Amino acid sequence: MSLIVQKFGGTSVADIERIEQVADKVARFRDDGDSVVVVVSAMSGETNRLIELAHDVQERPTPREMDVLLSTGEQVTTALLSMALNKRGVKAKSYNGGQVRILTDDSHTKARIREIDDSRLHAELEAGYVIVVAGFQGVDEHGNITTLGRGGSDTTAVALAAALKADECQIYTDVDGVYTTDPRVVDGARRLNQVTFEEMLEMASMGSRVLQIRAVEFAGKYNVPLRVLHSFQEGPGTLITLEDQTKMETPTIAGIAFNRDEAKLTILGVPDMPGVAHHILGPIGEANIEVDVIVQNVADDKTTDFTFTVGRGDLDRAEEVLNKVAGEINATEVRSDNKIAKVSVVGVGMRSHAGVASQMFAALAEVGINIQMITTSEIKISVIIEEKFLELAVRALHSSFGLEKEPENESAA
């Protein structure tokens, strides 16, 4: 008997037929004696539909009214799923965020959860109810409805699992787990049985969009075991957990992540003196532009070059800021390039294995790919390359690190 939080995304509750299938699944867990809290998204496409409706009325509606509107999508699916469960003889009740009392701050459309009152939920669970909670929404201290940002139902599920000290938080979606890389790029991409929170964060922030990043952060912080599963196919999915709780010896590399949303700016002939890096990046930060990779070379005599990457959507603004800075610090030139991409090898195992970087660079050299920038962290090595070589790079790395093969020690997991 365990307490499980199960989250079903928009495609899993897209229509009545699927809601009935979800009800069958939840009922099976109930039959096995588990206590179940279900978190649902709105039917797929519904949140977008509501956003369009809003914009048909007003160009820039207040965030407060947007939240009142957007939170309705999830309320529909909670009620329908509860009905489908009741029809099966499974006692179920729907709850919206405010009824549970998922207390958030007041930043409408991107609110953060502050506190969850679990007393009502515990009482309902003890009385044998399945509780179906609306994802993505909460309430601020004045009773205003808030929402948590797109994809926020994942965060609702993890937060509830943490508050209730659930045994597992299961995220049901339209893929059967987390893969070594994007299967659309590499045929041999393989489902991982287990991955650590840290690895998942690196993979999620770089394009493997299975889970909302905030949800993974939350799960890691509160040590909530997370499992990604296919809604309508049987299978173990991927368990995301702490490193010391993974059951096998950790493979060196878990996966290859990549991101096309990168653009590069270089400021040439920068005087080599204290305060210059701050002078360059300070105004970029003030303009609310997020900087990713930063490289500054050793000065040859009195000047150096400074290169960094930003999201492509920010390139024009960043360039404007930088041109101004260049004048102020007497740099010689600003160059920009938006045809770049970032590829990373990710794995907690690289902490104890030397030579991952050289293997990565060798694999790229073998297929003739030039590396423009390199950055490393404890569990990740990233390179910036020309965008047109991205898929080639991902395939070369996937094969070089042997990721298509199931590690021997993992097959029993």
DSSP 8-state symbol, 179:
B
177: tokens are 């787990």
Contacting range for Mg ion; rule: CB under 5 A; set: 36-44, 113-121, 295-303, 389-397: 36-44
**Residue among 136 and 306 whose Cβ is closer to ligand ASP:** 136
In this structure, how many other beta carbons lie within 10 angstroms of the beta carbon of residue 282?
13
**Residue among 135 and 347 whose Cβ is closer to Mg ion:** 135
Residue 47 partner contact from ligand ASP, Mg ion, none using kind-dependent CB cut-offs of 5 to 8 Å? ligand ASP
In this structure, how many other beta carbons lie within 10 angstroms of the beta carbon of residue 357?
14
For position 136 contacting ligand ASP by CB under 6 A, the verdict is yes
**Residue among 171 and 393 whose Cβ is closer to ligand ASP:** 171
**Residue among 41 and 307 whose Cβ is closer to Mg ion:** 41
For position 255 contacting Mg ion by CB under 5 A, the verdict is no
Query: Total binding residues for Mg ion by CB under 5 A?
Result: 3
Distance CA 35, CA 177 (A): 23
Binding to ligand ASP (CB under 6 A): which residues in 64-123? 73
Distance CA 197, CA 220 (A): 6
DSSP per-residue letters across 272-333:
-STTHHHHHHHHHHHTTPPEEEEEEPPPSSSEEEEEEEE-GGGHHHHHHHHHHHHHHTT--E
Put the strands of the sheet holding 303-310 in their side by side order. Answer: 291-296, 303-310, 255-271, 333-346, 380-386, 373-377
3-state SS assignment for residue 220? helix
For position 237 contacting ligand ASP by CB under 6 A, the verdict is no
**Residue among 155 and 259 whose Cβ is closer to Mg ion:** 155
Minimum Å gap between C-beta 33 and ligand ASP is 29
Q: What are phi and psi of 236, to 5 degrees?
A: -80, -15
For position 152 contacting Mg ion by CB under 5 A, the verdict is no
Residue environment code for 158-191, b if the CB has 16+ CB neighbours within 10 A, otherwise e: bbbbbbbebebbbbbbebbbbbbbbeebbeebbb
Q: Which residues contact 139 (CB under 8 A, 6 or more apart)?
A: 97, 98, 101, 102, 103, 104, 145, 146
For position 14 contacting ligand ASP by CB under 6 A, the verdict is no
**Residue among 73 and 347 whose Cβ is closer to ligand ASP:** 73
Residue 150 partner contact from ligand ASP, Mg ion, none using kind-dependent CB cut-offs of 5 to 8 Å? ligand ASP
For position 10 contacting Mg ion by CB under 5 A, the verdict is yes
For position 151 contacting ligand ASP by CB under 6 A, the verdict is yes
Binding characters for ligand ASP, 36-65, by CB under 6 A (x = yes)? -----xx----x------------------
Per CB under 6 A, the list member of 138, 152, 220, 255 interacting with ligand ASP is 152
Minimum Å gap between C-beta 41 and Mg ion is 4
Cβ atoms of 230 and 237 within 8 Å: the answer is: yes
Contacting range for ligand ASP; rule: CB under 6 A; set: 90-98, 146-154, 232-240, 305-313: 146-154
For position 172 contacting ligand ASP by CB under 6 A, the verdict is no
For position 135 contacting ligand ASP by CB under 6 A, the verdict is yes
Q: Is residue 388 classed exposed, middle or buried when 0-12, 13-18 and 19+ CB atoms within 10 A define those classes?
A: exposed
Per CB under 5 A, the list member of 41, 71, 238, 382 interacting with Mg ion is 41
**Residue among 12 and 250 whose Cβ is closer to Mg ion:** 12
Minimum Å gap between C-beta 143 and ligand ASP is 21
**Residue among 155 and 338 whose Cβ is closer to Mg ion:** 155
Residue 135 partner contact from ligand ASP, Mg ion, none using kind-dependent CB cut-offs of 5 to 8 Å? ligand ASP
Q: What are phi and psi of 363, to 5 degrees?
A: -65, -40
Contacting range for Mg ion; rule: CB under 5 A; set: 35-43, 257-265, 345-353, 390-398: 35-43
Amino acid sitting at position 141: E
Count, in order, helices (H) and strands (E) of the chain.
Answer: 12, 18
244: tokens are 């010391």
Please report, as ranges, the residues that interact with ligand ASP according to CB under 6 A: 9-10, 41-42, 47, 73, 135-136, 150-153
Please report, as ranges, the residues that interact with Mg ion according to CB under 5 A: 9-10, 41
